[in-house]
Amino acid sequence: MILETLLRNSLTDSLDPSLLDLKNESHDHNVPKNSETHFRLVIVSQTFEGLSRVKRHQLVYKAAHEVLKKGVHALAMQCFTESEWAKDPKRFSSPPCKGGKKKDPR
């Protein structure tokens, strides 16, 4: 939970989110047990007001840069302003990892 905590702290410090939903989805992928390599993020922040989706993602990557270098393989994200989130607070689910998803051991 070290990288997850560092990632959460970096995003909170830099983007002052009103909602930060960060999930470690590594267990769904072909990685060692207790890995921290695949994350899903839903973040709501007024910092994103007036910015394109690309600019929002760039801000997240900038805030998370040091943590991502420590071995994070994937960060799926959705970035909303507070007014966007209030209109459509749907949850996001990541697509399966092609070729790397753990096989059912039947």
Position 30 pLDDT exceeds 90? no
What is the β-pairing status of strands 19-24 and 38-44?
antiparallel
Task: Supply 14's token pair.
Answer: 């830099």
Task: Supply 59's token pair.
Answer: 């801000």
Q: Looking at residue 71, what is its pLDDT? A: 80
Convert the pLDDT of each residue in 2-19 to its tens digit.
888 999 999 999 999 999
The set of residues, in sequence order, having a beta carbon less than 8 Å from that of 20 and lying 6+ positions away, is 8, 11, 12, 41, 42, 43, 44
Stated pTM of the model? 0.78
**pLDDT band, residue 106 (cuts 50/70/90):** very low
Which CATH code fits 2-87? 3.30.300.90
Distance CA 55, CA 20 (A): 18
Span 20-48, average pLDDT: 79
DSSP designation for 101? B
Q: Looking at residue 97, what is its pLDDT? A: 57
Residue spans of the domains in the chain: they are 2-87
Position 75 pLDDT exceeds 70? yes
Position 81 pLDDT exceeds 90? yes
